[in-house]
């Protein structure tokens, strides 16, 4: 079933202005328990898998994100906002958020962002991810010539670039998630990067 990957996060906290956003998310994501939170109370619930924060709910967004990341490092955080400047989004990711999504994002984009973040990746516009990759300490390290990929690795790469989760890649290729993770681990080592987003935007993996 397409919705299965999202089941890993059973409770999602939401910090938003007014009940309509909460009700809308509950309707879009019925398999989750949606927990309404206030900005001051976002750190209180320790049993959340993921938290969505509307950027307009606080005038101290960066401080809140950084504090949340420090106090609840295992709980993933996605910020919803209207700002599109790469510098602004990069600051949010740098503060500790695992994703940034436009408040006008479609239902499918929201679901994909949650799935990718729960799968251990960062969700943000590609130009922001490219900037983060370029600014990463040691980002220039790694192989200087394109590595050789097996046919299976090419299949995995193409599905990763299409935004598929590990589970979806496994279903598409007829392999289990453990094997998918093993392939991705080898790809990361070959390319010389340390996460799947960096892998998908690296020049070596822009396959025909």
Sequence ranges of the domains in the chain: 4-134, 139-205
Which residues are within 8 A (CB) of 30 and not within 5 positions of it... i.e. 6 or more apart? none
For residues 12 and 49, the answer to whether their CB atoms sit within 8 Å is yes
Q: Which CATH superfamily is domain 4-134 in?
A: Response regulator (3.40.50.2300)
pLDDT reading at 81 higher than 90: yes
Whole-number pLDDT of residue 79: 95
pLDDT reading at 8 higher than 50: no
Percent of the chain with pLDDT over 70: 87
pTM of the predicted model as reported, rounded to 2 decimal places: 0.65
Whole-number pLDDT of residue 170: 93
Q: Work out the number of other CB atoms within 10 angstroms of the CB of residue 150.
A: 12
pLDDT band for position 78 (50/70/90)?
Answer: very high
Do 139-205 and 4-134 fall under one CATH topology?
no
Tokens of 133: 């990759």
Looking at 3.40.50.1100, 1.10.10.10, 3.30.1120.10, 3.40.190.290, the CATH number of the domain 139-205 comes to 1.10.10.10
pLDDT band for position 134 (50/70/90)?
Answer: low
């Amino acid at each position: 079933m397409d919705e299965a990957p999202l089941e890993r996060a059973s409770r999602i906290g939401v910090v938003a202005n007014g009940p309509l956003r909460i009700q809308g998310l509950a309707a879009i994501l019925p398999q989750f328990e949606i927990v309404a939170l206030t900005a001051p109370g976002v750190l209180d619930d320790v049993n959340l898998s993921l938290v969505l924060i509307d950027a307009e709910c606080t005038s101290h967004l960066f401080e809140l994100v950084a504090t949340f990341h420090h106090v609840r490092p295992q709980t993933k955080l996605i910020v919803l906002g209207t700002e599109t400047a790469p510098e602004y989004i990069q600051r949010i990711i740098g503060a500790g958020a695992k994703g940034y999504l436009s408040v006008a994002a479609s239902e499918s984009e929201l679901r994909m962002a949650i799935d990718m973040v729960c799968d251990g990746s960062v969700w943000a516009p590609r130009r922001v991810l490219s900037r983060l990759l370029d600014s990463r300490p040691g980002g220039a390290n790694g192989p200087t010539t394109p590595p050789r990929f097996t046919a299976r690795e090419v299949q995995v790469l193409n599905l990763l670039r299409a935004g598929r989760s590990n589970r979806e890649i496994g279903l598409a290729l007829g392999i289990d998630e453990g094997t998918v993770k093993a392939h991705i681990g080898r790809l990361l080592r070959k390319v010389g990067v340390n996460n799947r987003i960096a892998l998908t935007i690296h020049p070596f993996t822009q396959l025909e």
